[in-house]
Structures are given as structure tokens and as C-alpha cells.
Amino acid sequence: MNITLRPEIEAIGEEIIENRRHLHQHPELGLQEHNTAKFISEKLNELGLGISTGVGQTGVVALLKGGDGPCIGLRADMDGLPIQETGDVPYKSINDGVMHACGHDGHMAMLLGAAKVICGMRDQLKGTVKFIFQPAEEGRGGARFMIEDGVLGDPDVDEIYGIHLWNYQEFGTVGVQSGPVLAAADEFTITVKGKGGHGAVPHQTVDAVVVSGHLITALQTIVSRNTNPLESGVVTIGQIEGGYNFNIIADKVVLKGTARAYSEANRQMIKQRLRETCDGIGASFAAEIVLDYVDAYPPTVNSAVQSDKVSAAAGRVVGCGVQPPYMTMGGEDMAYYLQKVPGCFFFVGSAPMDREPMSVPHHCSHFDIEEQALLVGSSVWVQLVDDLLLN
């Protein structure tokens, strides 16, 4: 491991870690990040930055104006998760049932640290930096609210970047890749409507349980038979509910699931095949099957040029630790910005060095990070702005 932190970041390393611990101790759920927003606003105010609050409900945006060059957006998300923290750390959450179990506390701390250092470059900046603190990444799609509130305009953001701390990667690595890095994460509910009756008189019924069994089996072929084997997709039925008792034929079964894809084309294909399979199985068994499909986050797709810029900046910090990211089919609302503005969402390896690899996955109740990774992330932020706006 060969890490070269930016010296200005190293100098405020303790402060960055302190800020992360404060935020970790005081997590708030999506769109309720009032104290979080207040904390961030105060820190940014101290830097003399012009700030807007209440953007996308609880978001905070700060603008650092330099020359007439491009406007670069740097984004951190702010929300915690509805999880009771079980880990044994001195900075354990004091908000019952709420926890920063995804690393968003670290995302904010890294961007605050970088903002402080970048403010020191103010006089030499050839362009503008927009610091974007966004609420409600975990499911509510806070990015959309911020975009509706004009976060990408006045001045127009030319390029946008985002970091996720990533416990699936070793400390000292930065995962960067052009193209899709996270998946579309849609939700669906299927209601199978049959005709109930006595368990011993099946011929007068349409058994919603049997129909559901065929449907679940048929849905497996969307990935195994309809998806190009060189692409990725997921169709998961995560919940099934129906029936009354052992001797009653069920008139209704409700199934809930999620569909994942890395491309819009694959996403549309899955959606269409879901609909066709529901209709076809329904027709075969004389049942009515209703599909309610909800488009959630689109795929997170990085631009080639901006990914190269991140690779170069990250290379200055972690050397050959720049690598393709550990891929999952999770979703991220960073995707909404990347649909409008070219940019790159990248991953800073944060697996704690003193624990078993993969022993503290994201969204688990004892989630924790390697705090030195905060200095790596902050250094990459500063290096990126240095590369883009100073030279």
C-alpha cells in the first residue's frame, strides 16, 4: 500500500474524523436531516461560503466562485438508516433506531474537509465548485428533489462527482470505472386473483397459490433465458403472502419483488417480460394477475472522460490502488444527476483494517469504517479540484 495524502488534508485529519464521529452519533432519517443540515451549514459558514439551505427539503448547497471556468459539483449524501446500532464504538448513535450504517456520515465529513482545503485555493480557482449535501439517498430519492429545486443550475453544473465509502474494498483502494457502476433498482407488486373454495373441492376454484407457484418459476426465466448472458440482471421475489388455512383454497396471493439491471434497455426488457409472463400465466390458469411496477432509481452510469479524471486524481493519492470497483446491483440516486450532467461516482475502499474482510457490510447494525479512508477520500476530492480547476 502506497498512500500519499494531500498534506493539507493530513493537517486537518483529526478534524475530519471528529466531524464524522459527530455525524455518526447524531444520525437522521431521509428528509429529516435538520440537525445534520444545521451542522453542515455552520461548518460551511465558518469557511465564508455562500450557502443555500432547504434545497430538496433538507439539503445544503455551498458555492465557491472562482474564474469563468467550468462549474464542478461535488456531492455527499446525508441520511442514516432505520437500524438500531449494535456495534461497540465510542461514537455510537444516540438516536434510537437510527444509524449511519451506509457511510453517509463519512461522505459528509470528507466533503467538509475538502471544502475547507479547497477554500484555501480560492484565489487560484479557474472555475466554480458547488458543494452538494443531499438528503434522503436511502430510498426516497433526495437527488430528484434537489434537481427539482435547481441544484444543477445557476450556475449550471458542468461535471458532477460523488464518492461512496466501500467496505467491500480494502483500505488503500479506489474503485473507478466508466459505464454502469450501480443498477436500476425497481420495485414491483404482483396480485394474483383466483377463486377460493374448499380444499377438497379444487375443481370449482382457481387456486391462487398454484398459479403463484407457476408464476414464480416462470419469472426465473427472465434472467436465465431472456437476458443476454453477457449482461447482468436480477429478478427477486422477496415476499409472498396469501391464503387462510390448510383446508382453504386461496383466492388471492400478493408477491413483492425487485428488478435490477445495469442498462435502460435491459431494465425495459425485464419490465416487459414481467408483464407478459403475468398475463400469460394468468390466461393459462384463468386467474387475473395484476402487476404494479414502480420505476425507482435508474442505473448509475459514469462518463468515460470524467472517470478518467477521477482515475488520474485517485492515482496521485493511492497509486496502483486504483482499480475497477467491487460491483453490486445496489442502486444509488446519484444516477439522477448523471442522467443530466456527465460525471463519475466512485468508491473509496474503507474495510476496517483491524477486522475480518467483509465482516462489516453496509446496512448491517455493526457497520463501521476504516476512518483513515476519510483522508483518502478527502485527498481525492482536493486532488480532483486541483487537476480540474488549477491547471
Amino acid (one-letter) located at 194: G
The nearest distance, CB 136 to Zn ion, in angstroms, is 11
Query: Based on CB atoms, which residue is closest to Zn ion, 28 or 158?
Result: 28
DSSP state of 157: P
Between CA 19 and CA 38 the distance in angstroms is 13
The nearest distance, CB 108 to Zn ion, in angstroms, is 12
Query: Which residues face 198 on adjacent strands?
Result: 248
Phi, psi of 330 (to 5 degrees): -70, 170
- Angstrom CA distances, 42 to 25, 34, 35, 46, 132, stand at 17, 12, 11, 6, 15
Q: Which helix H or strand E contains 42, and what residues bound it? A: helix 34-46
Nearest partner of 108 among 149, 82, 137, 83, judged by Cα: 137
Judged by CB under 5 A, the stretch of 102-110, 190-198, 237-245, 279-287 that binds Zn ion is 102-110
Residue 39: CA count within 13 A, CB half-sphere: 21
Residue 181 interacts with Zn ion (CB under 5 A): yes or no = no
Number of residues that bind Zn ion (CB under 5 A): 1
The distance from CA 271 to its chain's CA centroid, rounded to whole angstroms, is 22
Judged by CB under 5 A, the stretch of 99-107, 148-156, 219-227, 249-257 that binds Zn ion is 99-107
Residue 108 interacts with Zn ion (CB under 5 A): yes or no = no
Annotate each residue in 2-41 with x if it binds Zn ion (CB under 5 A) or - if it does not, as one string.
Answer: ----------------------------------------
The distance from CA 103 to its chain's CA centroid, rounded to whole angstroms, is 10
In this structure, the strands spanning 174-175 and 128-134 are unpaired
Q: What is the DSSP string of 295-355?
A: EEEPPEEE-HHHHHHHHHHHHHHHGGGEE---------THHHHHHHS-EEEEEEEEE-TTS
Query: Based on CB atoms, which residue is closest to Zn ion, 173 or 212?
Result: 173
SS3 38: helix
Query: Based on CB atoms, which residue is closest to Zn ion, 281 or 369?
Result: 369
Contact, 51 vs 45, CB < 8 A? yes
Residue 344: CA count within 13 A, CB half-sphere: 25
Judged by CB under 5 A, the stretch of 96-104, 149-157, 183-191, 351-359 that binds Zn ion is 96-104
137 is catalytic: yes
Query: Based on CB atoms, which residue is closest to Zn ion, 75 or 309?
Result: 75
Between CA 179 and CA 36 the distance in angstroms is 32
User: Of residues 77, 79, 85, 370, which has the active-site annotation?
Assistant: 79
* CB-based closest residue to Zn ion: 102
Query: Based on CB atoms, which residue is closest to Zn ion, 182 or 192?
Result: 182
The nearest distance, CB 332 to Zn ion, in angstroms, is 7
Q: Which residues within the stretch 126-155 sit at the binding site for Zn ion (CB under 5 A)?
A: none
The nearest distance, CB 363 to Zn ion, in angstroms, is 6
Query: Based on CB atoms, which residue is closest to Zn ion, 60 or 102?
Result: 102
In this structure, the strands spanning 343-351 and 159-170 are parallel
Query: Based on CB atoms, which residue is closest to Zn ion, 262 or 285?
Result: 262
Judged by CB under 5 A, the stretch of 68-76, 97-105, 287-295, 298-306 that binds Zn ion is 97-105
Using CB atoms within 10 A of its CB, is residue 200 exposed (0-12), middle (13-18) or buried (19+)?
exposed
Annotate each residue in 53-92 with x if it binds Zn ion (CB under 5 A) or - if it does not, as one string.
Answer: ----------------------------------------
The nearest distance, CB 328 to Zn ion, in angstroms, is 11
Residue 102 interacts with Zn ion (CB under 5 A): yes or no = yes
15 is catalytic: no
User: Of residues 77, 85, 137, 207, which has the active-site annotation?
Assistant: 137
SS3 112: helix
The nearest distance, CB 370 to Zn ion, in angstroms, is 16
Query: Based on CB atoms, which residue is closest to Zn ion, 102 or 136?
Result: 102
Judged by CB under 5 A, the stretch of 101-109, 185-193, 231-239, 336-344 that binds Zn ion is 101-109
Which residues does the annotation mark as catalytic? 79, 137
Using CB under 5 A, list all residues that contact Zn ion.
102
